[in-house]
Amino acid sequence: MFRQPVSTRSESAMFDAVLVANRGEIAVRVITTLDRLGIPSIAVYSEADRDARHVELADDAVCIGPAPAAESYLDVAALLDAATRTGADAIHPGYGFLAENAEFARAVADAGITFVGPQPEIITAMGSKINSRRIMAEAGISTVPGLLDPVDSVDAALAAASDVGYPVAVKASGAGGGKGFRVAHTPVELPAAFEGARGEGERFFGDGTVYLERYLADPRHVEVQILGDAHGNVVHLYDRDCTIQRRHQKLVEEAPAPGLGEDFRRQVCAQAVEAARAVGYVGAGTVEGLVAASANSGSEFYFLEMNTRIQVEHGITELITGVDIVEQQLRAAAGEQLSVRQHDVRIEGHAIEVRINAENAAKGFLPAGGTITRYEEPTGPGIRVDSGVREGTRILPFYDSLLAKVLAHGATREEATARLIEALDDFVLEGPKATLLPFHRALLGTEAWASGSSAREITSDPVAFMEAVAANEAARGTPA
């Protein structure tokens, strides 16, 4: 049975008003929960987003600058001014933009406003992959084999790599979103990998610090949703599989992760809870890791990083547990206890999410622009669509290409897959030069997906995959 998140709000409102420091579907998602809880919402928008859906849905809205994100959604002074002028006593950052920026969280607190997220110190500690690995190793949490200290030169990297073992991953400590990540399979490849990771770290995150870890062959990317409050309560909401990615960014997620086994799932979730306790985590976060074969022919979960914010894919966890994660974020930020305990949380069924980006998979996921001329979201049993767009929305080059997320819940993985395929068939989205709708329809119909394997080969060569899909459809006389 499809489970909608159920409110467990106390009699007194948590906040007088909450400013949502974001845009698009996550802003709409947060505003939806605020509305259900009876908490006034305040949207912010750039000049280009004046007619955006999140602006219309909020109780109040403030323009914070021109279209470029650096002059609007990343403008801390403008955001704090908007909160002060509208009487907001809390700011929800969503994901992306300033969600994991410790200085922003500190500035919010200094302004006498509540930041809906963990303490700045935790954001700082977990924002550095080196620091977070060191903290977790000291807490007894398994980490990917590699260094707990940075390497500052190609020569140092070459010396360390012989101990780590090839292939090695070179990672920028402060990076994320697939940037600052390079793989070297041999010593010959390592100098270029080192310089590439360091350069992206400096360019995108202002931090060129890099370290080495073993590059695991074909692991599963598994993460655990955790919640914590200031009263010492920490619970997990089970796991998600996010293995299918492009450019190290997620495309398809499902919950629970297929093929873990109940005993191993309990071990993985217990490690995530211990990781959260190790840093005194308050709010919603995610412990990300890799599941790979171990020496004893079993599986091992290796800590990868902790995301100190709500995740794009949080909705599938809500579908299988019935817990509104945004509400729990607000509760924790308000100093209240979580309204759920571990014994309250159970898995019901299976949920899958696909991200509908304005991208052309047949051209290597090249971004595509345009204006949405027709837009009709699918409905039906177990179907949920999280979106920040509508008919008339212009796809702007200033922001992420995500248009909507389509989620399906079913009693089994097979039922959820069938419902999701039907929903994608029913989704009317016209106007953009390309979207990922055809790609996801094709991927969900493959044997690789049905078998629960990683389907990594599909995203590693999307052009060939989509060419094969087009050829098959042409042979059947139907358009791809």
Beta strands (DSSP E) in 388-478 are 394-395, 402-410, 428-430
Question: Collapsing DSSP states into helix, strand and coil, what is residue 440?
Answer: helix
**Rounded to the nearest 5°, which phi and psi values hold at 343?**
-70, -15
Tell me how many degrees the CA angle 320-325-326 measures, rounded to the nearest 5. 145
Residue among 377, 390, 392 at smallest CA distance from 425 = 377
Instruction: Give Cβ neighbours of residue 77 (< 8 Å, ≥ 6 apart).
Output: none
Quickly list DSSP for 3-65. --------SS-S-S-EEE---HHHHHHHHHHHHHHT--EEEEEEGGGTT-HHHHHSSEEEEEE
Contact 29, 36 (CB under 8 A): no
Determine which helix (DSSP H) or strand (DSSP E) holds 181, and give its type and residue range.
Answer: strand 181-184
> What CA–CA distances, in Å, run from 184 to 168, 171, 193, 220?
5, 11, 6, 20
**Rounded to the nearest 5°, which phi and psi values hold at 265?**
-60, -45
CA 236/CA 224 separation, integer angstroms: 7
The packing angle between helices 325-333 and 314-321, to 10°, is 100
CA 223/CA 243 separation, integer angstroms: 10
- Choose the catalytic residue: 220, 309, 355, 419: 309
- Sign, Cα dihedral of 92, 96, 100, 101: negative
DSSP state of 433: S
309 carries an active-site annotation: yes
Note the helical H segments in 279-410: 314-321, 325-333
Tokens 């200290």 map to which residue? 149
Give catalytic residues, as residue numbers.
Answer: 309
